[in-house]
Structure 1
Amino acid sequence: MPFDVRRLDDTDAQDFAALAAAIEADHPTNLQLSAEEFIEIRELAGAVIEGAYDAGELVAWSGYLAQAPQGDGRRIQVVGDSHPDHVGRGLGTLMGARALAAARARHAIDAAELPATYVTRMGAGRTDQARLLASLGYRMERYRFTMIAELDGLEIPPVRHDGYGLVPFGPADSELLRVAHERAFDDYPVPSAMTSDVWDGFMIRARHTRHGLSSWLRNESGDVAAYLFTHEYAAPLSGRNDGRETYVPYLGTLPVHRGRGLASALMSHTLLAARDQGVARMSLEVDAHNPTGALGFYERAGFRTVARFDECTITERPVA
């Protein structure tokens, strides 16, 4: 019997959450969302998500999240997975091809004159998924690691930020920090810029934000020198439910202020504050190709790697 494939909306949120939980229980994805978070990501990021139903059961999903075009190109995140009980039925090929086609169509409407890079990921060692992605044209680009720090008993260095003021994050600072974030990651090989609307949605209005555990450092002129944001998701990256887990989406230092221990100061401050608030562990993702040596920095701060993901891409240039 053919699958019923259609675009998912808010009425499918509970079905999506149940499918995402079943997939995460089988293998790590870092894509598990609650029903409320599913609704929110569609509202805030404009995510386009399809689902494949079999006899009324949602058995696979796929879609894309399109970042705003940059001056020299655009990256579009292509996502999806299948229920572990339905592997081998062609769902991965069907949904992966549909998501890629939809992302290409979106780019053709928005910015056909710019090169597009379609980005997806797979868990390390998933040879079946590797074959599928290769058949669709994806090629391996980089590694990303999920890291966890257990806060109970963690030895946290003292907080030192001589000459810089510690500022609690507040909505009034949003645009200032968005611009600083662009500058901090300007030398990063993967663009990190966001439009004001997307930034405001994810960093200010989203239910996962934790402003009380987010802060930044300013110099004597009031300029942003470094920043650290904290989020908390309904489904933690560790997959564990024995205590609260917060997540660090961004930690950055402006280039002129690097080498002064500011990132370490912010991390120590956040780890201590999180532990004081009853947080059991903190998680994050790090790019193995980060030019600032972030992997070693996080290891020294007490984080350990618990999963690796392979990021694969297709880059296409406009036809002259």
Structure 2
Amino acid sequence: MTVPENVQRPGPQTGLIWRPITPEDLDGWYALIRRMAETDKPGWVEDRADLEHILVRPNDHPALDTLLGHDTGGTPRAFGSVSANPGSGRVLGFGGVDPQWRRRGIGTAVYRWQAARARNRLTGKEKGEKVLRSFAEEDNASHVALLHSAGAKVVRYFTEMTRPLQGDLPQVPLPEGMEFVTFHADLSERFRLAHNEAFLDHWGSEPRDPESWKFTVTHPQFRADWSFAVVDKSSGEFAAYQLASFDPETKQIFGYTEGYTELLGVLRNWRGMRLTPAMLSEAMNRFLASGMEHAGLGVDTENPSGALRIYEQLGYVPVSRQITFDLPLVPGNSPS
């Protein structure tokens, strides 16, 4: 498969040699991700499994949708990728530059390529807004400036929060007649359907298909023993759920081990019953029993449900904020 003429890779003026990413690049690509993380301290860092997944996603084409820039010695110094769910006009951009190679125009070149490739992917039949969506850590001034200068607009803020698991933890019981049921594979599809229903009215959310859900619950960092549903004992219905994960490298990056609430949702008919604090209380106890030092999660800062306030009341404090940028994908609207 060849790259369309109007989606050319960056040129030699960047000082790098560009080509699509292949499975043989995984070690070097992951090493680049780690170098970036050590400098940028982002709220979340991709695991090797996440990079492997980029190269096998059924709706994407690695030969067209990925980009790797390496120096003359073969060391990866920059990368980019784009992805989208079937039928969606929202294309997600992911990329970065080695800290030692920044301020040379490489990030701008990668973003221009992402925008061109995202626009090239559109068929005109997609649903919803047609944008290239990118994410930047708020304190990464150069990345934020790049996206602003390219014409992308801020559309949302997400906050990463953490809570030390020391002293007395909040103990919030479930309402009478409800129980926690720990995740296991036989319930996976019910968890997926519960997630899709709970997030139906959440900003920026798109339904998880079986393929993407399988990746979530088989990810190396996923912890089934920390994940559970809240079940109504009389009907057997799912009222809410929480999925949790553990990145073994959080100690190296942030200085503490952390059990992380990856996904949490309450289905519409069960809202207003304090199920969220009950789930987080249960999660904290499970994290602590496994030797974790902190509990962590991410929150949509503008979520109208008041989630940020609930988390603060439970002792979570902000540690970083991520900005979501959208670049409209309309003809002739190329990054500056």
TM-score (norm 1): 0.88
The 8 Å contact of residues 228 and 251 in structure 1, kept in 2 or not, is answered as: yes
For 1:256-300, what per-residue CA distance to the aligned partner results, in whole angstroms no more than 9, with x for missing partners? 111111111111111101101112222221111112111111112
Distance in 1 between residues matched to 2:252 and 2:310, nearest whole Å: 20
Match status 1:226 vs 2:240 = yes
Distance change in 2, residues 1:181/1:238 (3 Å): farther
Name the amino acid aligned to 2:213. W
Instruction: Determine which of 90, 106, 110 is the counterpart of 2:105.
Output: 90
The 8 Å contact of residues 172 and 277 in structure 2, kept in 1 or not, is answered as: no
For 1:52-106, what per-residue CA distance to the aligned partner results, in whole angstroms no more than 9, with x for missing partners? 111222111111232333xxx5422211111111111111011111122222323
Q: How many residues align?
A: 313
- Secondary structure (helix, strand or coil) at the match of 1:222 reads coil
Q: 160-169 vs 123-132, which deviates more?
A: 123-132
Distance change in 2, residues 1:317/1:114 (3 Å): farther
1:211 aligns with: 224
Match status 1:63 vs 2:81 = yes
The 8 Å contact of residues 82 and 92 in structure 2, kept in 1 or not, is answered as: yes
For 1:164-218, what per-residue CA distance to the aligned partner results, in whole angstroms no more than 9, with x for missing partners? 1221111121222212212212222222311111112212x22121111000012
2:7 aligns with: none
Q: Could you say what the CA RMSD is over the residues aligned between the two structures, in angstroms?
A: 2.5
Q: 113-122 vs 74-83, which deviates more?
A: 113-122
Match status 1:313 vs 2:313 = no
The 8 Å contact of residues 49 and 219 in structure 2, kept in 1 or not, is answered as: no
Distance change in 2, residues 1:215/1:171 (3 Å): same
2:214 aligns with: 200
For 1:15-59, what per-residue CA distance to the aligned partner results, in whole angstroms no more than 9, with x for missing partners? 122211211121133453343442245346757432211122211
TM-score (norm 2): 0.84
The 8 Å contact of residues 118 and 329 in structure 2, kept in 1 or not, is answered as: no
Distance in 2 between residues matched to 1:113 and 1:147, nearest whole Å: 33
Distance change in 2, residues 1:151/1:68 (3 Å): farther
Distance in 1 between residues matched to 2:16 and 2:52, nearest whole Å: 23
Query: Deviation above 4 Å: which 4+ runs of structure 1?
Result: 44-48, 111-114
Q: 152-161 vs 210-219, which deviates more?
A: 152-161
Unaligned 5+ segments in structure 1 are: none
Distance change in 2, residues 1:35/1:174 (3 Å): closer
2:193 aligns with: 179
Unaligned 5+ segments in structure 2 are: 1-11
Shift of 1:14: 1.7
Shift of 1:241: 5.0
